[in-house]
Amino acid sequence: MNPDWHTIIQRHMDGLSTDEESALLKDALKHDDTLARLYLSYLNMDVALEAQASKSETTRSLLLADADREPAKVVTFPSKYRRVIFGMAAAAAIVLLAATVWMLGRPQVLLLRGVGQEFANASSLPHGELIGQSVDLKQGLLELSFRKADATVVIEAPAKFRIEDAKTLRMESGRVTAHVRDGKQGLRVLTPHTDVLDLGTRFAVDVSDGRRSEVHVFEGKVEAGATGAEHRDLLTTNQALRFATSAKPEARAVRSGTFVQPEEMKSLAAGVKAGQARRALDADAKLKQDAALIGWVGFEQSSGEAAVEVHGARRVQGRFTGQQALEFVDTDDHAKMNLHATTRQLTLMTWVRLDRVPEGISSLYHTDGWNTPGQVHWMILNNGQMRFAMNGAPLSGDQGEMQWPQSRDPLLGKLGRWLHLAAVYDADTQQVGFFTNGKFDSSVEMKTGLPAVLGPAQIGNWNVKHKHGTEHRRLSGRMDELIALSRCLSADEIRQHYEAGNPYR
């Protein structure tokens, strides 16, 4: 009996086809021209019906719709059917961009994309020319195109800004990352403390702390001076300056990892549309029910979280709109906590986005001091390897230059975007396993199997006095979540937690 191609094609178009139907269709389309023509004919009809249906809606949606605010809608059918994602937001987004092009003539500055954006006093940005617009972005991310300056910028909430003209962005507060393809045109960013002129580069301006503005150059050149001052500095790749009121600029370490880059926007937007925020919440809720949970810190100040005492670090936007992370900037920024646990099995997991720290160690979780057998220090070394050190539990046998258990693959290439890290310790097998973005990296054998002692500890700055001075270990970047369990999660469980909480698609 011949397959009912009319039905199979339509089921495939609607995302309802079973694996067998899809395989059958795929094979037949490869050599059957008549079937391929029928298939294309159905798709042509689908596009035409979509256009027909939107005819009466188009004008209204062009003017009113806020494409990326509309969450993706997911309908789940019985398991033999695929999940069908009705992300109409995407369709609206294309209409919006086209509409901007059509209806408003020659926009110099326009919205390219948004991720979970919410505004203080408007439901959306105008779809078209943004010059002259003052924006109070409460949540989310916006990607704007400054056509004349040949620049793409990403603005992160909370932010107040105004598009002054085709090449000038005034940031009252918030953060902006800019990629200027051709510095001949010069994008200018003004803040209460500084005046930045781009000379062809990738750079960021941080005005998230009202007392100061920072300029970070990742590539190329930027000219910056204090507001109203004649003197201007030239910043080149990997340089940063901090401008504060009535003070000369102070050189800072460049923070490349904490600013959202234009290249991330597409996959972050896709993550939102695919409902990743909901999946992450569901995964967290499931883990919170785990009897082995020792501590869960989401930095949301919500009930059920382990208490943290924050020193210097600030709450900023996390992986998803409306969720918070803790940002560590200065050397002594840290958050104190006490998990009050002693356990023979331990899993530590976290979501971070980190700056590259050329020297020293990035501290993820350090128990106080270093004098109690079983106490734990979890960190990233300057070569990008993750280390899990336990006092009194050195490595088994000769393991070369390695002194404490360390992951194998360096993380350096993965910094500057959200990253999931996990370390799993088992005193019975005397092993530590490392996982990056849900993937097993390596395991290392230790000489003894002490129970892990999780007493007073800190995320971020940890210091210890030596006879030659004080050693500081700091964290430069954001941490969105830290989870500790008194059991060894399986590789599958870690992968699932990563996949559910991954903001990218």
> Which CB, 7 or 236, lies closer to another protein?
7
- Span of 28-36, 129-137, 288-296, 362-370 interacting with another protein by CB under 8 A: 28-36
Q: Of residues 51, 120, 122, 234, which one binds another protein by CB under 8 A?
A: 51
The total number of residues written for the chain in this structure: 505
Residue 206 CA to residue 314 CA, distance in Å, equals: 13
**Nearest distance, CB of residue 223 and another protein, angstroms:** 22
Q: Of residues 3, 59, 64, 94, which one binds another protein by CB under 8 A?
A: 94
In the window 127-186, what residues touch another protein (CB under 8 A)? 145, 147-148, 150, 152, 181-182
In the window 271-310, what residues touch another protein (CB under 8 A)? 273
Q: Could you tell me whether strands 168-180 and 188-190 are parallel, antiparallel, or unpaired per DSSP bridges?
A: parallel
85 lies in the binding site for another protein (CB under 8 A): yes
DSSP 302-313: -TTSPP-EEEB-
> Which CB, 48 or 247, lies closer to another protein?
48
Those residues with Cβ within 8 angstroms of residue 322's Cβ, 6 or more apart along the chain or in another chain: 116, 139, 277
Please check whether residue 117 is in contact with residue 142, taking contact to mean a CB–CB distance below 8 angstroms. yes
> Which CB, 82 or 170, lies closer to another protein?
82
82 lies in the binding site for another protein (CB under 8 A): yes
496 lies in the binding site for another protein (CB under 8 A): no
Q: Which residues of 267-304 are buried (b: 16+ CB within 10 A; e: fewer)?
A: ebbbbbbbbbbebbeebbeebeebeebbbbbbbbeeee
122 lies in the binding site for another protein (CB under 8 A): no
φ and ψ at residue 3, rounded to 5 degrees:
-65, 150
> Which CB, 344 or 505, lies closer to another protein?
505
492 lies in the binding site for another protein (CB under 8 A): no
**Nearest distance, CB of residue 3 and another protein, angstroms:** 14
64 lies in the binding site for another protein (CB under 8 A): no
92 lies in the binding site for another protein (CB under 8 A): yes
- Span of 54-62, 290-298, 316-324, 424-432 interacting with another protein by CB under 8 A: 54-62
Residue 384 CA to residue 369 CA, distance in Å, equals: 23
> Which CB, 108 or 238, lies closer to another protein?
108
Total of residues contacting another protein (CB under 8 A) = 70
Query: In 3D, which of 356, 323, 321, 306 has the Cα closest to residue 459?
Result: 306
Residue 481 CA to residue 326 CA, distance in Å, equals: 9
Query: In 3D, which of 351, 367, 323 has the Cα closest to residue 477?
Result: 351
88-103 vs 33-64: helix crossing angle, rounded to 10: 70
Please check whether residue 320 is in contact with residue 502, taking contact to mean a CB–CB distance below 8 angstroms. no
Three-point CA angle 337, 342, 344, nearest 5°: 130
40 lies in the binding site for another protein (CB under 8 A): yes
Q: Of residues 64, 75, 229, 234, which one binds another protein by CB under 8 A?
A: 75
Q: Of residues 24, 54, 281, 293, which one binds another protein by CB under 8 A?
A: 54
263 lies in the binding site for another protein (CB under 8 A): no
Query: In 3D, which of 441, 442, 430 has the Cα closest to residue 397?
Result: 430
83 lies in the binding site for another protein (CB under 8 A): no
77 lies in the binding site for another protein (CB under 8 A): yes
Please check whether residue 484 is in contact with residue 347, taking contact to mean a CB–CB distance below 8 angstroms. yes
Q: Which residues in this chain contact another protein in the complex, by CB under 8 A?
A: 6-7, 10-17, 19, 22-23, 26, 29-30, 33, 36-37, 39-54, 57, 61, 65, 70, 73, 75, 77, 82, 84-88, 90-94, 97-98, 101-102, 106, 112-113, 145, 147-148, 150, 152, 181-182, 266, 270, 273
